[in-house]
Amino acid sequence: MASAIKFEHVKKTFADKIVVNDLNLDIQQGELFVLVGNSGSGKTTSIKMINRLEDPNAGQILVNERPTTAYDVQKLRWKIGYVLQQIALFPNMTVAQNITLIPEIQGVNGNLEKLAAQLLQKVGLNPQEYAQRYPHELSGGEQQRIGILRAIASKPPIVLMDEPFSALDPLSRANLQELVVDLHEQLHNTILFVTHDMNEALHLADRIGIMKDGQLLQVDQPEEILRHPANNFVRDFFRGSIGSNLYETTLKQAALLTKFKQAESGSLATMPLINVEETIAKLLTLLSGQNEVLVQNSSGDFLGLVDRQWLVTYLNNINSLK
């Protein structure tokens, strides 16, 4: 698969401090890649170098296999959507105007009002109710939804998301995480998502990269990082995200360690159901009166089944991480 974003021996310093040190990373087209690390790890600086808000002191970054320095800066940024924690919607513009700002600047032909309405529907906001509102009339979660729509309105092949949900309440954050996953599945774009929240990383990522003190420590799929952390820092960083509160761990998180069992098609009609976003606590309640429970996602797709033996295996895997 072709690279969407590639860092080659990238180094960034501010004054005498090395912020990013010899970063080598290949993010593939269509991937939802999460870059995670503590404050000061270099993850935000790394994302800023992609659209040239910062330039590296050494090495190079390629976008669609072409060095970023070979692009006109404005044209490069038009290829890349950008979502920040500080949403920065234009207060004097309506929701629809904020969403369609980039396509309008680019001179995109077509009905921009219709485009705004279609995008609002994608994120569960009624266009008739929201299109003509102003940012101050929206909740924080609604504003961030509009920020995401503004970033994808021109259909950029790459979207950068820098701690976009860290200021939101837990419910809004969970809803927007699902929105990101759904939009990624619909649009097949490349997303680089930056966070310090391990649960968020595990929930979203096709692959995860862990940074510390400007260095990339490990890159792999979530389950591989959980099972085979590169060092003690990675192990400790992830330990709290799986199993620290067994009853609040979701089935989706648990499946990173213990895969669901296959279900025979003939038994599906009579088997009780549980959503993959439900917790181990909810599963225990169901298993108290049932031998097996069928797991499905929010779209109603069957993901497999869980039983008491699955739960025992999961607990053994949890203990092996500690």
Condensed to tens digits (0 to 9), the pLDDT of residues 250-274 reads: 888 888 888 898 876 666 667 889 9
Tell me the CATH architecture of domain 3-243. Answer: 3-Layer(aba) Sandwich (3.40)
Please, which residues have CB within 8 angstroms of residue 72's CB and are 6 or more apart in sequence? Answer: none
Please, which residues have CB within 8 angstroms of residue 37's CB and are 6 or more apart in sequence? Answer: 43, 196, 210, 211, 212
Is the pLDDT higher at 317 or at 24?
24
> Which of the four pLDDT bands, split at 50, 70 and 90, describes residue 29?
very high
Distance CA 110, CA 142 (A): 26
Is 206 a residue whose pLDDT tops 70? Answer: yes
Nearest alpha carbon to residue 192 among 57, 50, 77: 50
Token pair 């979203």: residue: 204
| Spatial contact of 158 and 80, defined as CB atoms under 8 Å apart | yes
Calculated CA dihedral for residues 126, 131, 136, 140, nearest 10 degrees: 40
Domain boundaries, the chain: 3-243, 251-321
| Spatial contact of 263 and 304, defined as CB atoms under 8 Å apart | yes
Give phi and psi for 93, each to the nearest 5: -110, 150
Q: Which CATH class is domain 251-321?
A: alpha beta
Give the strand order in the sheet containing 17-28: 17-28, 3-14, 58-63, 66-67
The whole-model pTM stands at: 0.83
pLDDT digits (tens, 9 = 90+) for 213-253: 999 999 999 888 888 889 999 988 887 666 556 777 888 88
pLDDT score of 244: 56
Strands 215-220, 273-275: pairing kind? unpaired
Angle of helix 140-152 relative to helix 112-122, nearest 10 degrees? 130
pLDDT digits (tens, 9 = 90+) for 165-204: 888 888 788 888 888 988 898 889 999 999 998 888 888 8
| Spatial contact of 185 and 217, defined as CB atoms under 8 Å apart | no
Is 321 a residue whose pLDDT tops 70? Answer: no
Nearest alpha carbon to residue 151 among 174, 200, 184, 110: 184
pLDDT score of 266: 61
Mean pLDDT value of segment 17-38: 96
Please, which residues have CB within 8 angstroms of residue 1's CB and are 6 or more apart in sequence? Answer: 28, 29, 30
Distance CA 60, CA 219 (A): 19
pLDDT score of 243: 55
